Amino acid sequence: MNAASQLRPRGNDAAGRLRTVQEAHELTPEQHADAPRTTLRQRHVRMIALGGIVGASLFVGSGAVIHTVGPAAILSYAIGGLLVILVMRMLGEMATAQPTLGSFMEYARTALGGWAGYTIGWLYWYFWVGVVAFEGVAGAKLLLLWIPGVPQWVFSLVLLMLLTATNLVSTRSFGETEFWLASVKVATIVVFLLTGTLFALGLWPDGEMTVGNVARDGFASQGVAAILHGVVLVIFAYVGTEIVTIAAAESDDPVRSVTKATASTVWRVIIFYVGSVTLLVMITPWDQVPTQTSPYAAAFGKMGIPAATTVINVVVLTAVLSVLNSGLYTASRMLFALQRNNWAPRWVADRSRKGVPWKAILACTSVGYVAVAMSYVAPDTIFDFIINSAGAVGLFVYAIIAGSQLRMRSRLERESPELLRLRMWGYPYLSWITLAAILVVVSSMLLVPDARSQLYLSVVSLAAILATYLLVRRLGSGQRA
C-alpha cells in the first residue's frame, strides 16, 4: 500500500473515512509480522502507569506553581488532573475496543481521517524528542552538583547513550529499567504522603499542627484568575499519562493493561499530585515555598530528615532518567507506527532479532543528540525554539483524542457495541465538555506571558506538520496521475 492510498479519504463523507471496527481491531498479517513483540509484563505496564505520571515537574516545578497561585494551587492541580482523567477515560474506551500499535494515532486516522492521524503522530513524536533533549540537559545539570568541572554536554551525552542502550537491548529491558526507576519515584511520594500527613497533623516528633497554613492568607490569596493560570502551568506536568496505552500494545494482555491503568488514573492523580501538593502548602507557608529548588526537599528538611536535599536530588535524577527512558521508547514506537502508514521512511521499521525497532530508536536519539548540541552551542535560540515549540503540543494531542473518541464511539455503538468494554462517562455530553475545556486551556495560554510564546511556537509546529501532510498528499496524487 502506498502513501497516497493511506492518505486518500475512504468515502465522500466523514463516516466513509472510517474503517469498519472489525477491520480496525485486527492487524493485517504483514502488520503482525512487522510489529514489535509483546514482551512487556503486567508489572511493567502497571509501574509505567503508576510512575509515568510522576516527573521532575512535580518534584521541582510544583514550587513555582504554588508561588504563583498560592494555596489554591491545590485546585489548579485538581482541575488539570480532572481534565487528564477524562481524556484518559476516552482514550481507554478506544484502546480497549481497539488495542493497536500507535494507539491514538490510529484512532485519529480511522475516526477523523488521514490528516488527523498524520498530525497527531508527528506532533507527539516531536514532543517526545524535545523532551528527551530537555531531560538530557536537566540530568546533566544535576550531575554537575556532585561532579563539578565536567562539561555539561558530556553528561548529557552519557545519559542519552545509557538510556538508548536500555531501549536497544529489548523491549523488556526498557520495561525493567522503567519499573525500577518508577519504583523510586512512587516510593518517595508514598513516604512523603505518610510522613507529611503526620507532620501536618502535629503527630511528628516535636512537631505542631500546620494544617492551618492552607488558609493563613486566604485560600485563593492570589485571586481566582490565578487558579486558571495555574491550570495552564500544571497541565503539562500530566502529559505522559497516555504512554501506557502505547506500551500496552507490547504487553501480553493489552485490554487488561489499559483497563486497569485507565481505572487507576483517578486515584493516582488525586493522591500523587493533589494529595502531595496539599501537604506541601500545609507544611510550608505558600510564600515560603522554594521555586528554584525542590519544595519536597524543603518539606523533608522541616521534618528534620537528614540530607533531605541530596536525597530529593537523587530522586529528581531518577525521575529525569525515567522520563528520558520513556521518551525514547514512546518516540520510537510512534515513529514505527507512522511508518506502518507510510508516513515515515521505510527503514525505521527495521527490527532487531528481539523485535526492537532499533533504527527508529537511533533516529529519535540522534535528534536528541542534535538538540543537546544546540543547548551548548545556541542555548537561547535553537534549543529554546525546540523546547518551546512543543509547549502546547500535549494539548493539541488531547484535543484530537477527544475528537476521535466522539466519532469512534458513535461508530462503535452502531456496529460493534460488544467492543465497548470500558465506556466514557456521560457520553456524549462529558466528551464535548472535555473537548471544550481543552480549548479553553489552550486559549488561556494567551493570557499567560510565559505560555503565550509557547503557544505561538507550537502553532508554528502544527502548521508545519499540516503543510507536510498536504505536500505528501499532493505528491501521492501526482504519482497516481
Across 278-301, average pLDDT: 91
Angstrom distances, CA of residue 465 to CA of 72, 126, 452: 37, 10, 20
CA distance 89 to 424: 6
Per-residue pLDDT tens over the stretch 46-81: 788 777 667 778 888 899 899 889 999 999 999 999
Buried b (16+ CB within 10 A) or exposed e, 310-328: ebbbebbbbbbbbbbbbbb
Looking at the domain 37-480, which fold is it? Amino acid/polyamine transporter I (1.20.1740)
pLDDT recorded at residue 23: 43
Rounded-to-10 torsion of CA 399, 400, 405, 411: 140
Chain position carrying cell 508527528: 122
Buried b (16+ CB within 10 A) or exposed e, 26-60: ebeeeeeebbbeebbbeebbbbbbbbbbbbbbbbb
- What secondary structure does DSSP assign to 206-236, as a single string? T--B-GGGGGTT-TTTT-HHHHHHHHHHHHH
pLDDT recorded at residue 358: 93
Confidence grade of residue 476 (pLDDT, cut at 50, 70, 90): low
pLDDT recorded at residue 192: 94
Per-residue pLDDT tens over the stretch 250-270: 877 888 888 887 877 888 888
- DSSP, collapsed to helix, strand or coil, labels residue 451 as helix
Per-residue pLDDT tens over the stretch 80-113: 999 999 999 999 999 888 877 778 899 999 999 9
CA distance 68 to 263: 32
Is the separation of the CB atoms in 105 and 254 below 8 Å?
no
pLDDT recorded at residue 37: 53
**Stronger pLDDT, 6 or 134, i.e. the higher one:** 134
CA distance 51 to 274: 15
Please state, for a pLDDT cut of 90, what percent of the chain lies above it.
42
CA distance 94 to 364: 27
Across 3-16, average pLDDT: 36
DSSP helix, strand, coil percent of the chain (3-state; round to 5): 75, 0, 20
